[in-house]
Chains A and B, each alone.
Chain A
């Protein structure tokens, strides 16, 4: 069994029609409910919910505080490699982009780690492209073992793997895997991923199932906004979340909200997602689910990030470099995408504290992994 069965019960076009047909009166009624379900979520992400944005934001703020308290979890990505055998039309690391390719050596990884540790981080996210010969499972496993004494919590965002491979990495100390579907629209997915292992839509769709079966502690899901209608993609993400929660009930889940950012090679987003849309979506997720972690990267602007921490976000990165070696080894090399908020960790920390939140660097222990 996998998410495929659930996924196939829904039709993109029908969902799109339903979401855009929701009325203001229906939204008002749904906001009176104590418990928001998947059907209600459609209304909350619909254009008809726009007049209720402030009301949704207030409720999201309260629910988030009740569950997560006045705290904000900090994390930082570390890019290990930009080698990639996939073509993704929107990505700076795409195989056809003529950029210098780099995979960090042990000594370089440790140099990056020492810089990252000096900034105070204890939760790290390892990122690679998909190049099985150079950055396959054995490279990743080795990297985890190399750094695991330095971090309480290790996550990764790499190519989808088989269940047994995930089991190996979990045993080595991996806590979480982030794997975004990019889009749940199969035809559009194929357009943006014409070549490489990533072109297999179904294998990617079933990745969280393989992770769940491998007993991972946390799975991060999401869609890349800009490829297709964000509302329909987000409904599918919520559907995926609910399915996973019921099936792999010991696993935690997080959602991320990547919007397309400029990069080397550039395609303009097909569908624009405004700041107001993103706020609406974050609040809708929180109303649907009190406990899901909602994560915010440095893709977003300073002003947006300053305000969004009140609206449902529970973890945030700062000072991110999206190039391998970006912290100390090769700070000038080419990035996967341009980050928008370039403030230092200390500045972000001060910004969060000034808004009445405790900045949390450690919320796990390596002894548990």
Chain B
């Protein structure tokens, strides 16, 4: 059976989701995203001009492979998020929304209370909701209960490139989740992405590490390979880590001699 990722009504061959921020030009952004073979690309509503058909970002995301994932970055409350999502659905003709509510502008850490409130409301309004959250296993279950189609816990603070710092909690989330788990934020190197996939994440979202690299196009490609390798390793089942060699069985070998 082909290993495909299914979220709501869409099927993804690529398990690498990307973003559109921080690139040195819209052209570089487009080439890097194409090199990553990503099929889901998030874009901040505040950065695009919804009234302008020639918007510089949107006009570089026209490949048929790319699905747009508008995000609510900039909102501070559930109410603002719901409003932004409705605006986005109307203007961009998609009911997919990456729900980001980070009232703290410094570390951009997600507000769990407002996120849960907004998620519940948006699901009722017919959105495919992808919430950016802390690696909080209980919050993930609560979000699942209100009907989100996936959860997006962070590996480390957004843009920090620090890697998978929330590992212990991600493992619990992955173990318990009935919806796809997408590790979002903190992934700074292809090895981090591969590691998240080896842990069993269904996908990862990477932006800063690609956009701010000296060569975003090559880095987009590197992430593609890392995500594929990590996924393949997860499916192939990693050999267990052992603290020491186990050559013999000193306590039970007598059983063979009886």
Contact = CB atoms under 8 A, between A and B. Distances in A.
B46 A368 contact: yes
B105 A358 contact: no
B215 interface: no
A368 B211 contact: no
Interface residues of A, number: 26
A270 interface: no
Given A66-B159, A363-B46, A363-B47, A368 B23 contact: no
A362 B211 contact: no
A367 B159 CA distance: 25
Contacts of B83: 367
A304 interface: no
A65 interface: yes
B49 to A, nearest CB: 6
B75 interface: yes
A249 B212 CA distance: 27
B22 A68 contact: yes
Contacts of B211: 69-70
Contacts of A367: 83-84, 87
Nearest to A153: B46
Contacts of A362: 46-49
A152 B44 CA distance: 14
Interface of B: 21-26, 45-50, 74-76, 80, 83-84, 87, 103-107, 159-161, 208, 211-212
28 contacts: A65-B22, A65-B212, A66-B160, A66-B212, A67-B159, A69-B21, A69-B23, A71-B21, A122-B49, A245-B106, A249-B103, A249-B106, A250-B103, A251-B105, A291-B106, A353-B25, A358-B23, A360-B47, A362-B49, A363-B46, A364-B46, A365-B45, A365-B50, A365-B84, A367-B83, A367-B87, A368-B46, A368-B84
Interface of A: 65-71, 122, 152, 245, 249-252, 291, 353, 356-358, 360, 362-365, 367-368
Given A362-B48, A365-B45, 6 more contacts: A66-B208, A70-B212, A250-B105, A291-B105, A357-B24, A358-B24
